[in-house]
Amino acid sequence: MPQLAPQVSDLPPNQIRQITEAAWAQPGSLVLSIGEPGFPVPAHVLDAGIATLARDETNYTPNAGIAPLRAAFAKRFHELNGVAVDASAVFVTSGAQQGLHLAMSLLLAPGDEILVPNPGYPTFAMTSRLLNAVPVPYPLYPEHGFQPQLADLEALLTERTRVLMLNSPSNPLGAVFPADLTRRLVELARKHDLWIISDECYEAFTFDVPHTSPAVFDTDGRVFTSFTTSKTYGLTGLRVGALVIPQAPSGGAAASARESGQDALPLLDLQAVTATVVESTYSCVSTPAQYAALAALTGPQDYVSTARRHYRANRDAAAAVLRQKGIRYLDAQGAFYLWADMSHASGGDIRAWVHRFLAEDGVAVAPGTAFGSIGEGWIRIALCGDSTELIAGVSRLPAPVPLPQL
Ligand SMILES: Cc1ncc(COP(=O)(O)O)c(C=O)c1O
């Protein structure tokens, strides 16, 4: 028999899916393991999708997406970040995941290295492996508030390093980069001639701190930015996101290449190449889904503020329970997850422990190892669902045993 391609045969299974599917198979479980927003989708969004089907607008769209949706993403990007983006730089994708795949397909040749956060969203590594590239985890340590340290990144650079993957607000940590760190990360990329892929899925959800896009500091066109309606508008199954490609006149790291006398890739070429990669992967995003996403972006925005208030209230309530139990956690400043230290219970194997906790206490949480080796002993609690279930689930977490009084 012919063999499967090696890069798919050794892809590790997704530990978040494993625990979540085990919970779904166990009636009555409290599922705090996935990032599925619990709000109903606003009617005007559904109506826009239905109306598109009723008009029988089911043909292909341009590879990059329908013009008004590209313009709406560009407008939102400008409003949020103060960075003017031409709609021609926006490519509509099938969720953020397709946007990540598209960006990596554009930037990574086989054997190229991409720096990915540890702990970090698992598909950063999986997608790069699918492309025969090499994910190199960069550490995020508790003692630094799980923020990247420039020296750690520089220590990992090799001749093959091409891309720095950034994700703020972070899944799974809820950490948000301060603006100054974001600036220094972009400077580091410039200094070492790296591309940046910035996953900004959770840009709508920060609590008391601003979100700063790396694109703000992108002076020579090396930052690709990925968004999604999955999180901002709770439309996970609609599958509509956007990738904003760099739009500096010279296009990407090409600027420094040109300075050093090498061939440069003009922006127009980057747009054309991106469209060709889209054509050969998903061709275009479903037309009714694009119109529904357009309604979400251009219609009333109260869904977003209501969701933000809900996540924040859930964060505060769940954190209060953890504090009262004496469980260490990272004070989430964004996204909708709480990252908590269960090493007192896990016996050095958090992956096995979350399955025991589900079987014995009926609560599913994501094991920290789903996000990288530094997640050993930690769990990720999703804050985006029902508040009562969240507090019931968090209340069942075992507290550390207090040391005996001497
Ligand atoms: C950091 C991050 N990136 C990308 C994705 C994928 O998003 P989408 O459902 O829009 O593909 C997720 C989903 O949880 C995520 O948390």
Segment 320-336, tens digit of pLDDT: 999 999 999 999 999 99
Q: Find the largest Cα–Cα distance for the chain.
A: 77
User: Residues with Cβ within 6 A of ligand 1?
Assistant: 35, 95-97, 121, 167, 171, 199, 201, 228, 230, 236, 241
pLDDT at 38: 82
Residue 291 has pLDDT above 90, yes or no: yes
Return the percentage of the chain with pLDDT > 70, whole number: 94
Q: Six-digit token pair at 248?
A: 């500096």
Using a 10 angstrom Cβ sphere, with 0-12 exposed, 13-18 middle and 19 or more buried, the burial of residue 357 is: buried
pLDDT at 247: 80
Specify which residues 138 forms β-bridges with. Answer: 117
Give the separation between CA 197 and CA 128, rounded to whole angstroms: 12
Written as one letter, the residue type at 66 is I
Nearest residue to 85 (alpha-carbon basis) of 97, 77, 94 = 77
pLDDT at 39: 83
The predicted-structure confidence for 292-317, as pLDDT tens digits, reads as follows 999 999 999 999 999 999 999 999 99
Give the separation between CA 330 and CA 391, rounded to whole angstroms: 17
Give the separation between CA 175 and CA 122, rounded to whole angstroms: 16
If one residue of 167, 170, 230 were mutated to test the ligand 1 pocket, choosing by the most ligand atoms within 8 A of its CB, it would be 230
Q: Six-digit token pair at 81?
A: 């970040």
Distance 97 CA to ligand 1 centre (A): 6
The predicted-structure confidence for 19-46, as pLDDT tens digits, reads as follows 999 999 999 999 999 988 888 899 999 9
Using a 10 angstrom Cβ sphere, with 0-12 exposed, 13-18 middle and 19 or more buried, the burial of residue 44 is: middle
Q: Tell me if 176 sits within 8 A of 334, measured CB to CB.
A: yes
Give the residue-averaged pLDDT of 2-6: 91
For residue 112, the surrounding DSSP H or E stretch is none
3-state secondary structure of 73: helix
Least confident range from 74-88, 244-258, 352-366: namely 244-258
pLDDT at 10: 82
pLDDT at 5: 92
The predicted-structure confidence for 244-289, as pLDDT tens digits, reads as follows 999 864 444 444 444 554 555 566 699 999 999 999 999 999 999 9
Domain boundaries along the sequence of the chain: 6-40+302-395, 43-298
pLDDT at 248: 60
Binned at pLDDT 50, 70 and 90, residue 396 comes out as very high
If one residue of 124, 227, 231, 285 were mutated to test the ligand 1 pocket, choosing by the most ligand atoms within 8 A of its CB, it would be 231
Written as one letter, the residue type at 389 is E
Distance 117 CA to ligand 1 centre (A): 15
Enumerate the H helices of 206-301 as residue ranges: 229-232, 254-259, 267-279, 287-298
* CA of 229, closest atom in ligand 1: 10
Q: What are phi and psi of 288, to 5 degrees?
A: -60, -35
User: CA-based angle 103:149:350, to the nearest 5?
Assistant: 80
Give the separation between CA 159 and CA 71, rounded to whole angstroms: 38
For residue 211, the surrounding DSSP H or E stretch is none
pLDDT at 402: 75
Give the residue-averaged pLDDT of 98-115: 98
Residue 84 has pLDDT above 90, yes or no: yes
**Which class would CATH give 43-298?**
alpha beta
* CA of 241, closest atom in ligand 1: 10
Distance 264 CA to ligand 1 centre (A): 32
Binned at pLDDT 50, 70 and 90, residue 403 comes out as low
pLDDT at 257: 46
The predicted-structure confidence for 146-165, as pLDDT tens digits, reads as follows 999 999 999 999 999 999 99
Nearest residue to 245 (alpha-carbon basis) of 266, 229, 262, 231 = 266
Using a 10 angstrom Cβ sphere, with 0-12 exposed, 13-18 middle and 19 or more buried, the burial of residue 301 is: middle
Q: Domain 6-40+302-395: which topology?
A: Aspartate Aminotransferase, domain 1 (3.90.1150)
Residue 103 has pLDDT above 80, yes or no: yes
Return the percentage of the chain with pLDDT > 90, whole number: 89
Give the separation between CA 122 and CA 109, rounded to whole angstroms: 20
Q: Compute the mean pLDDT over every residue in the chain, rounded to the nearest whole number.
A: 94
Binned at pLDDT 50, 70 and 90, residue 233 comes out as very high
pLDDT at 251: 42
The predicted-structure confidence for 367-393, as pLDDT tens digits, reads as follows 999 999 999 999 999 999 999 999 999
Distance 399 CA to ligand 1 centre (A): 31
pLDDT at 252: 43
